[in-house]
Amino acid sequence: MARCSLCGKEDLCFTCPYCNGVFCAEHRLPESHGCAGIQMVQAQARKKAAQAVAPPPSPPQQRRFFVVRPQAVRPVAVRRGTGRFSQTELKHLLISSVLVVLVAISMIGGPPMGIVRGAQLIILYAVQGYGWYPAILILGFLISFLIHEFAHKFTAQHYGLWSEFRMMAQGYYLSLIAILFSVPIFGTGAVFSAGSPTPEQDGKINLAGPASNAAIAIFCTIGAVVSAALGGGLSPVADFAFSYLIQLNAFLGLFNMIPFQPLDGATVINWDKRIWLAMVIVLLALLIVGYVGISLLAA
């Protein structure tokens, strides 16, 4: 009498032909003792059956080669990461630019209701040969606004973000207040970005606007110094143009560096307080130059 390999019962045991184990009458069938050998045999049998019914391999097909002639290849225009403008953005920029021009005209006339008096003065200046005065005021205001917004947009696009200018609902109200009371407000809209910038990238995107105003002011300062040195002084037109652009851009940069949302300074100071302080100092120095330094050069 032998003992079952599974339960240990003495019986007239049977030897499994698949795993060679010894089992009693109760466990002699392969499925009763969980035979591992039969699973291997079944796998081999399935493989042989599949090979028996498989279709014969098809002969290798001859490869065909196509010759691309040089004249058939057309150059593909590559769309770069920066400088993209949608139709909606261009429309918003046009509306905002018109409002900025109206604010500039209102500043020429002064409060109250400067827009009416400003339009009258523009005509008067043009008739008397002083059309350069309102032209500098209006174009300087508009160009400074556009460069500030484009600096935000292009910096964000440089980091691979979607970025476009949009008018804001409160922008219309702020523009109305600026037009009625002759206040230099740029609050018509803002550049909106979508993506996942790092804190450093976000800080640089917000810094780009005030930094562009500082760059304009520095460029005008250098231009004033060179013009004064070469010409023995500044003409009244150059003195006014340089002084106005320096004062305007220094003021706009300082205003946007105020460390409170939604102004640029809030994001910049959270990113790097030293860079925020350095930019504020530079803009303050430029503002002083605009009010004092150019007049000294003209003298």
* Tokens linked to 77: 């225009």
Lookup: tokens for 160? 């691979």
Q: Which residue has the tokens 């920066």?
A: 82
Bridge pairing between strands 14-15 and 10-11: unpaired
Instruction: Choose the catalytic residue: 26, 89, 149, 164.
Output: 149
Closest CA to 217 of 192, 254, 188: 254
Dist. CA 91–CA 167, nearest whole Å: 9
Q: Quick one: tokens of 158?
A: 């440089």
31 catalytic per annotation: no
- Cα 198 to Cα 152: distance, rounded to the nearest angstrom: 15
Continuous H helices in the chain? 36-53, 87-109, 114-127, 132-158, 169-181, 199-231, 236-256, 264-271, 273-288, 294-298
What's the rounded Cα separation, in Å, for the pair 150 and 165?
9
- H/E element holding 289? none
The residue written with tokens 């605009």 in the block is: 290
Instruction: Return the number of other C-beta atoms located less than 10 Å from residue 263's C-beta.
Output: 16
In this structure, are residues 56 and 47 in contact, taking their beta carbons and an 8 Å threshold?
A: no
Annotated catalytic residues are 149
